[in-house]
């Protein structure tokens, strides 16, 4: 009887063990200065105004979980103003009472419009005035209002398509228009004259409020005045250069002579003070905003290079604060939105590659922004800079390689195309464009709508649309400059048992193929059904006998990744959970929710086809990354079964 009771008790206990008991995991993050929802740095700030008391206001076209105007005090999130899809992000200014910021295209007072400027009450955040500044009311994505500034009882805006400046009183009364070709960033000098940047022309005009051009500052060839700030204490004009110098230049406005520069010449692309692509204090990317407070502290807003049709998925927020002597006080960063960074197998998951950036970190929120992989000057046709790209920006990264060589693939939220890059030692961290699938690189024209995989050794696997084949391009090597090459494709029919194919994952270390089924009866090729088949010995010849077959029972599976002996599944429109399925038994061995909720926010779902990444470290630890578009970060789970 004792033996029977013991056996019965063992059955009861084993049945009550939840997946959480199959090895504890930790929850961390990278790509944002702060990991919680309430404190996170706002997404893709593209303009900045600093009040005399040192409060920073930045404007963004889109932050999923915060207002479009973010507020910072002493290096901390201090709230926000406006709806998260309200400002355009292109410009912002203020005075002691109000803020002014262009409104993105949307419904205002019952009609859809762009080219408006909204006024907000700083004390309450209330929007108390809307003015149609531009006659262009239909532009949905590009910036219509490209500059805005205040002085005394006046504010002025650049109506870019109208090739004019529009001058108003702070109460909203229009005063006059001033014709200016290609007007951009704006500032007022000490006497109320308007300083307007013409970025493409490389000039800054000084214009009286009645429209008389008082001076034309012609900058050196290549300089692109992207941001302006006038310091009334010194009467210096600060110019944020988005040209190859990528630094800030100060000009004395009485003589318009260059006084000094701030930042490394060449910014993050300089190779004399660091590796090309390496970011850091004084190694700026494009400068989007400059400001000072009454104490003389300097603030510089940068945005890593990258293009996107909706301007909300650009390179991110990178904000620096310096003392009057130039000492770095703090740095605020938000570098991820609707994207993922893949753990690099060659570094045993201590380095992570997104479609644009490189991060490092081993846990405990010790992450670092290592580099930006885009060089807009050497490779101006880099597809990651293309604002006409029909997707939402190439921010999702996949990485593979051998030795010191790497293959980077960049793609977007729900893609049917994938873009390939390599790393030339002579170009530092810059990812050099190679081509795309579909494209001439792989001699393929069909879209990728039945799964894609860059495996850990650099082979490419894809389900090309309407071919009912799994295509495999084996990596054949790298040339002396790190450029990869692939052999002729080998095709295998899609197994009949999987039906319509949705996902492909191949693990070369164990010769394991994982295939995900499309949602039965659905025309949505971006979703995943309930059936996942695991083939052990795929290249050895087992292409018809899956074992195990995993049945996904949670609603709306969206993203799959695998490493070692585990498949990790993320879901959309439901929960942020990541399920870990055993590839040998098919069992659900763990579910990652959040082991550190007081310090880390994990978002609410995985709203992307390739929003997860994973790697099995040499220590036996699994590293799983998850896109958190809510908190503009990347969640990192670490688990040893």
CATH value at residue 243: 2.130.10.10
Indicate if 541 and 468 belong to the same structural domain. yes
Indicate if 309 and 356 belong to the same structural domain. no
Report yes or no on 44 lying in a domain.
no
- φ, ψ dihedrals at 561, nearest 5°: -150, 155
How far from the centroid of its chain's Cα atoms is residue 73's Cα? 24
Indicate if 301 and 352 belong to the same structural domain. no
Report yes or no on 3 lying in a domain.
no
Instruction: Indicate if the pLDDT at residue 422 is higher than 80.
Output: yes
Question: What is the edge-to-edge ordering of all strands in the sheet holding 194-198?
Answer: 186-188, 194-198, 203-207, 213-218
Q: What would the mean pLDDT of 252-271 be, rounded to a whole number?
A: 97
86: which DSSP letter?
-
Report yes or no on 614 lying in a domain.
yes
Report yes or no on 1 lying in a domain.
no
Residue 259's nearest CA partner among 282, 224, 291, 231 is 231
Instruction: Indicate if the pLDDT at residue 11 is higher than 50.
Output: no
User: Which pLDDT does position 14 carry in this prediction?
Assistant: 34
283 with 277: CB under 8 angstroms? Answer: no
Which tokens is 218 given?
A: 């012609």
- φ, ψ dihedrals at 308, nearest 5°: -165, 140
Torsion over CA: 491, 493, 495, 501 (sign): positive
CA distance 274 to 252: 31
pLDDT digits (tens, 9 = 90+) for 118-145: 999 999 999 999 999 999 999 998 999 9
Boundary residue ending a domain (316, 349, 364): 316
User: Which pLDDT does position 347 carry in this prediction?
Assistant: 95
Instruction: Indicate if the pLDDT at residue 2 is higher than 60.
Output: no
pLDDT greater at residue 531 or residue 10: 531
User: Which pLDDT does position 162 carry in this prediction?
Assistant: 98
Indicate if 197 and 69 belong to the same structural domain. yes
Instruction: Indicate if the pLDDT at residue 362 is higher than 90.
Output: no
Q: What would the mean pLDDT of 248-269 be, rounded to a whole number?
A: 97
Report yes or no on 10 lying in a domain.
no
Indicate if 541 and 594 belong to the same structural domain. yes
- How sure is the predictor about 403, in pLDDT bands with cuts at 50, 70 and 90? confident
Instruction: Indicate if the pLDDT at residue 19 is higher than 70.
Output: no
pLDDT digits (tens, 9 = 90+) for 538-550: 999 999 999 999 9
pTM for this predicted structure: 0.95
CA distance 418 to 86: 31
Q: What would the mean pLDDT of 307-332 be, rounded to a whole number?
A: 95
Q: What would the mean pLDDT of 92-115 be, rounded to a whole number?
A: 95
Q: What would the mean pLDDT of 181-196 be, rounded to a whole number?
A: 98
Instruction: Indicate if the pLDDT at residue 402 is higher than 90.
Output: no
273: which DSSP letter?
S
Gyration radius (Cα) of the chain, Å: 26
Indicate if 296 and 343 belong to the same structural domain. no
How far from the centroid of its chain's Cα atoms is residue 99's Cα? 26
* CATH assignment at residue 426: 2.120.10
Indicate if 234 and 375 belong to the same structural domain. no
Indicate if 347 and 275 belong to the same structural domain. no
CA distance 510 to 503: 18
Instruction: Indicate if the pLDDT at residue 7 is higher than 50.
Output: no
Boundary residue ending a domain (259, 284, 316): 316
* Three-state SS letters, 254-271: CCCEEEEEECCCCHHHCC
Indicate if 476 and 352 belong to the same structural domain. yes
Indicate if 477 and 529 belong to the same structural domain. yes
Report yes or no on 399 lying in a domain.
yes
What total of structural domains would you count in the chain? 2
At 9 the three-state DSSP class reads: helix
| Structural domain of 410 | 19-29+339-639
Query: What mean pLDDT, rounded, does the chain reach?
Result: 95
CA distance 284 to 265: 9
Instruction: Indicate if the pLDDT at residue 8 is higher than 50.
Output: no
CA distance 16 to 4: 19
Instruction: Indicate if the pLDDT at residue 1 is higher than 90.
Output: no
Q: What would the mean pLDDT of 180-202 be, rounded to a whole number?
A: 98
Residue 81's nearest CA partner among 132, 129, 119 is 119
Boundary residue ending a domain (316, 351, 373): 316
* Three-state SS letters, 341-358: CEECHHHCCCEEECCCEE
Report yes or no on 70 lying in a domain.
yes
User: Which pLDDT does position 112 carry in this prediction?
Assistant: 93
Give burial (CB, 10 Å; 0-12/13-18/19+) of 4.
Answer: exposed
503 with 528: CB under 8 angstroms? Answer: yes
Q: What would the mean pLDDT of 303-313 be, rounded to a whole number?
A: 91
Instruction: Indicate if the pLDDT at residue 411 is higher than 50.
Output: yes
Indicate if 463 and 545 belong to the same structural domain. yes
Which tokens is 209 given?
A: 């409020």
Instruction: Indicate if the pLDDT at residue 455 is higher than 90.
Output: yes
Indicate if 400 and 292 belong to the same structural domain. no
Report yes or no on 269 lying in a domain.
yes
At 32 the three-state DSSP class reads: strand
Which residues, other chains included, contact 14 with Cβ-Cβ below 8 Å and sequence gap of 6+? none
Least confident of 20-24, 97-101, 359-363, 375-379: 20-24
Which tokens is 623 given?
A: 């590293």
Instruction: Indicate if the pLDDT at residue 529 is higher than 60.
Output: yes
What are the DSSP calls for 560-583, one per residue? EEEETTEEEEEESSS---EEEEET
């Amino acid at each position: 009887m004792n033996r029977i009771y013991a056996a019965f008790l063992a059955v009861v206990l084993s049945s009550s063990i939840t997946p959480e008991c199959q090895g504890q995991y930790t929850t961390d993050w990278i790509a944002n200065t702060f990991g919680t929802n309430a404190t996170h740095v706002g997404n893709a700030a593209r303009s900045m105004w600093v009040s005399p008391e040192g409060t920073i206001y930045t404007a963004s076209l889109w932050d999923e979980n915060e207002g479009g105007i973010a507020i910072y005090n002493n290096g901390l999130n201090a709230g926000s103003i406006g709806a998260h899809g309200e400002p355009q992000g292109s410009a912002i200014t203020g005075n002691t009472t109000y803020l002014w910021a262009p409104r993105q295209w949307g419904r205002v007072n019952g009609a859809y419009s762009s080219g408006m400027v909204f006024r907000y009450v700083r004390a309450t955040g209330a929007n108390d005035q809307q003015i149609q500044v531009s006659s262009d009311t239909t532009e949905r994505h590009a910036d219509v209002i490209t500059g805005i500034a205040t002085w005394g009882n006046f504010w002025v805006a650049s109506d870019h398509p109208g090739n004019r400046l529009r001058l108003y009183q702070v109460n909203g009364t229009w005063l006059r228009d001033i014709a200016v070709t290609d007007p951009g960033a704006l500032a007022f000098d000490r006497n109320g004259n308007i300083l307007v940047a013409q970025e493409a022309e490389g000039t800054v005009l000084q214009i009286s409020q009645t429209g008389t051009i008082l001076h034309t500052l012609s900058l050196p060839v290549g300089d692109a005045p992207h941001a302006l700030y006038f310091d009334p204490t010194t009467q210096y004009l600060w110019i944020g250069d988005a040209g190859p110098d990528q630094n800030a230049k100060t000009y004395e406005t009485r003589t318009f002579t260059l006084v000094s520069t701030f930042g490394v010449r060449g910014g993050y692309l300089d190779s004399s003070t660091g590796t090309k692509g390496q970011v850091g204090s004084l190694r700026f990317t494009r400068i989007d905003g400059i400001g000072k407070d009454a104490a003389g502290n300097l603030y510089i807003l940068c945005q890593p290079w990258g293009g996107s049709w909706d301007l909300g998925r650009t390179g991110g927020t990178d904000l620096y604060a310096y003392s009057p002597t130039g000492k770095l006080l703090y740095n605020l960063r938000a570098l991820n939105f609707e994207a993922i960074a893949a753990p690099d197998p060659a570094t045993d998951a201590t380095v992570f590659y997104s479609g644009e950036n490189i991060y490092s970190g081993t846990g405990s929120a010790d992450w670092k922004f290592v580099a930006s992989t885009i060089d807009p000057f050497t490779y101006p046709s880099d597809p990651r800079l293309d604002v006409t790209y029909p997707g939402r920006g190439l921010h999702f990264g996949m990485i593979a390689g051998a030795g010191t060589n790497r293959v980077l693939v960049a793609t977007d939220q729900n893609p049917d195309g994938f873009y390939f890059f390599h790393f030339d030692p002579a170009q530092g961290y810059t990812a050099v464009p190679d081509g795309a699938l579909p494209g001439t690189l792989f001699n393929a024209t069909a879209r990728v709508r039945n799964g894609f995989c860059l495996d850990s050794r650099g082979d490419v696997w894809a389900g090309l649309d309407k071919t009912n084949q799994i295509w495999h391009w084996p990596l054949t090597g790298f040339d002396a400059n790190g450029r990869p090459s692939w052999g002729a494709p080998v095709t295998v029919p899609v197994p009949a048992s999987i039906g319509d194919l949705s996902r492909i994952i191949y693990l070369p270390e164990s010769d394991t193929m994982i295939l995900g089924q499309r949602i039965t009866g659905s025309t949505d090729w971006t979703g995943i059904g309930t059936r996942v088949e695991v083939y052990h010995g795929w290249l050895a010849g087992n292409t018809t006998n899956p074992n195990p077959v995993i049945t996904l029972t949670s609603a709306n599976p969206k993203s799959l990744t695998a490493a070692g002996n585990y498949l990790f599944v993320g879901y959309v429109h439901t929960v942020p959970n990541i399920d870990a399925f055993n590839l040998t038994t098919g069992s659900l061995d763990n579910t990652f929710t959040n082991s550190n909720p007081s310090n880390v926010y994990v978002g609410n779902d995985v709203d992307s086809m390739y929003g997860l990444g994973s790697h099995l470290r040499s220590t036996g630890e699994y590293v799983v990354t998850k896109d958190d578009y809510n908190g503009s970060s990347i969640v990192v789970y670490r688990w040893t079964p």
